[in-house]
């Protein structure tokens, strides 16, 4: 990815939690492919979802050019974090970890969510310019997704509208969903959403492949953006790394110009 002074590059990947019983696709068999994926693409920001503690530790040890936010301390054994890694040349001025619930600063779940879903927000300074990046993982059903989207809007109320925002993650929803439509500016139930722009154009690419290498689901891993950012390119990386797929989701990448 191009890394000029006025450009930033991002990569989002549902890491597939390391405690899953995935046999030959288990974490130990693919963790080196994850590191190589990140090194080859050299993004400024990496958003990973479903990361167990030992996966976060492994990435931290093997990607010394990055720092990260979003790891819960302490965490239950099976806990999955949404981690934001960023290059050490970037300054993190503020970070907030919150739950997509009615009590966002207490471990909790709301809106009939199956799991205590969460988000990691960072306020960064990149070459003198401020930027907000958010990494999140939504639940499966529409009420929980809409509730989560509104919680993110509330959290963004603490920051100036002039700061550009990149919102990444596994949303477990396609562009036909109410939460996508609301986040991209359509009115739902009489309320206007956050007016994010989309990186991809229809027909949208499939991003879930279940370790097959072929799309097995819709476009559920999004990179949305808002503010003074110009999209350069975006892509879904479908090729394996040395015949190993880093995850059961395809990585999604995008470049932006301030």
pLDDT at 1: 43
Provide the phi-psi class of 57: left if phi over 0, else alpha when psi is between -120 and 50, else beta. alpha
Summarised one tens digit per residue, pLDDT across range 174-221 is 999 999 999 999 988 887 788 999 999 999 999 999 999 999 999 999
The domain limits of the chain are: 7-257
Please state at what angle helix 27-41 crosses helix 53-62, rounded to 10 degrees.
40
Specify whether the CB–CB gap between 139 and 117 falls below 8 A: yes
Mean pLDDT (whole number) for 240-257:
97
| 7-257 topology per CATH | Deoxyribonuclease I; Chain A (3.60.10)
Mean pLDDT (whole number) for 238-255:
97
CA dist., res. 231 & res. 247, Å (int)? 26
Q: Is the entire prediction scored with pTM above 0.85?
A: yes
Cα 102 to chain centroid, rounded: 21
Q: Which residues contact 84 (CB under 8 A, 6 or more apart)?
A: 45, 46, 47, 68, 69, 70, 95, 120, 122, 133, 135
Question: Side by side, which strands form the sheet with 7-14?
Answer: 66-69, 81-87, 45-51, 7-14, 252-257, 230-236
pLDDT at 171: 98
């Amino acid at each position: 990815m191009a890394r000029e002074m006025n450009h930033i590059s991002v990569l989002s990947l549902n890491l597939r939690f390391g405690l899953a019983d995935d046999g030959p696709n288990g974490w130990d068999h693919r963790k080196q492919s994850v590191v190589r994926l990140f090194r080859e693409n050299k993004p400024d920001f990496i958003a990973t979802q479903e990361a167990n503690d030992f996966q976060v530790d492994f990435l931290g040890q093997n990607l010394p050019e990055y720092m990260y936010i979003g790891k819960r301390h302490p965490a239950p054994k099976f806990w999955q974090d949404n981690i934001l890694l960023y290059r050490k040349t970037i300054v993190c001025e503020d970070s907030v970890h919150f739950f997509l619930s009615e009590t966002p600063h207490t471990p909790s779940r709301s809106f009939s969510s199956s799991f205590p879903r969460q988000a990691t927000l960072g306020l960064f300074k990149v070459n003198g310019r401020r930027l907000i990046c958010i990494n999140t993982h939504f639940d499966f059903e529409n009420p929980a997704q809409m509730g989560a989207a509104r919680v993110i809007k509330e959290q963004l109320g603490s920051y100036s509208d002039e700061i550009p925002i990149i919102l990444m993650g596994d949303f477990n929803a396609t562009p036909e969903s109410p939460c996508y439509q609301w986040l991209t500016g359509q009115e739902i139930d009489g309320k206007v959403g956050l007016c994010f722009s989309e990186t991809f154009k229809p027909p949208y690419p499939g991003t879930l492949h279940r370790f097959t290498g072929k799309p097995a689901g819709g476009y559920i891993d999004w990179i949305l953006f808002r503010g003074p950012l110009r999209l350069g390119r975006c892509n879904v990386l479908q090729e394996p790394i040395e015949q190993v797929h880093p995850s059961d989701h395809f990585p999604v990448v995008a470049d932006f110009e301030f």
